[in-house]
Structures are given as C-alpha cells and as structure tokens.
Structure 1
C-alpha cells in the first residue's frame, strides 16, 4: 500500500502529544526523576544520568530538580535533625529510601522547596526568552 498523506495529523491534535495542558509540575519532575533513578539502579547497563554513586555496601544519592539538588531531611546517627543535599542508604534499601522521599514529596512535605525550584526555573526560562528576542535577526555568524 502507498502512504496516504491524509493520515498525517498535527501532534497538538493527538492527546498523547498535546502540550497545551502545560508542563509537568515541579513535584511531577521530582517524582519522575526518582522513578528514573530507581530504574537506572536496577539496570546498571542502562543509559542515563545517575544521581547516585555506590561504594561498598552503601549508595549516596541526591534528588535533583532541573539540575539542582533538593535539600533532604533526616535524623543523623545521634538523632539530631539534619538537612543535606546528599544522603546515603544501604544498597539493599536504596529503592525504599527513594520511595520514602517520593511519598513525602507526594504528601506535600517539600512543597515550599519545590515552589522555589519551580520559580527559579521559570525565571531562567524567561531570561533565556529575553536573550533570544534581543539577538539580531538575519545572517548567521560566519
């Protein structure tokens, strides 16, 4: 059979590809990144940026939003509350540790921080748009 051009439909008219609903929320970016890190941990040969490093029986990790590490909370060995950008967990508990933070993100424990990170992204995007708009139109650099 020959190709029928009538089968071509703009992506915006297909629900799976429509972007008019807006971008993912910062919360969704965090949760998607956690899922991705778990998948990369389970398959060491898979390609992708890893936000964790395994040494011996422990894995250090961070949860990143738009290339910025979130500040994570826990109690240290003395029971004192600490806030850091990188945590460690036993290798066997790595997935559970990320799921623990995913649950807290879903619950709203990090909403204030996610809002700040989202605002930072919006400001960066606005500045990039301004920079592009200010560039002279016409011939490309030679």
Structure 2
C-alpha cells in the first residue's frame, strides 16, 4: 500500500522554524566569516564539490585569502593573500576561524559590515525611486 503523504504532511505554519512569520535572526560578521571558512575546508577536502573557492593549490602549497563583504581581510600585516603548506592548510584555516571568533579581526569586519549596510541603504533608496514611492 502506498504512503498517504497527506497524513504525514503538516502546514509549514504549524512547525516551528518553518512559518512564514518566522523572524530571521541576523548573523554577526564573525559568524558569517566562520561559516565561510568551514565551507572552504569542505571545498578543500572535497575538490569535486561545487562552490567558490578562496584558495588555489599549487604543488605542496595553498595560496588563499579570507573574504568578507566582497573584500579580503588583512591576514598578516597588510597582506590579504598568504601561502601555507598544503598539509597544514585546514589547521591554519581553523586557527584563523578561532581568531575571527575571538575578535582579532573585529575592526576589519566592522568596516565591512558598514559597507554592507551602506550598500543595502543605497539599493533600498534606488528601488524606492524606481517604483515611484
């Protein structure tokens, strides 16, 4: 006998987290970058997986940058792109992620967040102007 899916299915509004009135909780810049670093680790470990890579592998080395708000972070001094041994790449990314969450890149992330807010305000004004409201 076939499954009666109508007996299993529930309205999205009746299940916590799926309702249309669910409030989206904004993520901090640190959380966004930390999740993006996790994604880069996945992409490194699964080379065939789809996704935009912040790194390139050449021989036994990996060159990479860490990005937020469409801009690279300054990782060492003014350097935005660094190279590490391929064998230590994941470990280095995890250490950078820990520093991001600890607040070591706060000034850069705050500047990036300001750019994001400004861009959002500009886009909102442009949309309103186009719609004539």
Which TM-score band applies after superposition, normalised by the shorter structure? 0.7 to 0.9
The alignment partner of 2:27 has SS state of coil
Aligned to 1:126: 121
- TM-score, reference length from structure 2: 0.85
Q: Structure 1 stretches of 5 or more lacking a match?
A: 74-81, 138-142
Q: Structure 2 stretches of 5 or more lacking a match?
A: none
Structure with greater strand share of residues: 1
- Could you tell me how far 1:54 is from its partner in structure 2? 0.7
The alignment partner of 1:10 has SS state of helix
Q: Report how many residues are paired.
A: 127
- Could you tell me how far 1:85 is from its partner in structure 2? 0.7
The alignment partner of 2:6 has SS state of coil
Aligned to 1:96: 91
- Could you tell me how far 1:7 is from its partner in structure 2? 2.4
- TM-score, reference length from structure 1: 0.80
Runs of 4+ in 1 over 4 A off after TM superposition: 16-19
The alignment partner of 2:131 has SS state of coil
Aligned to 1:66: 69
User: Over aligned residues, Cα RMSD in angstroms?
Assistant: 2.2
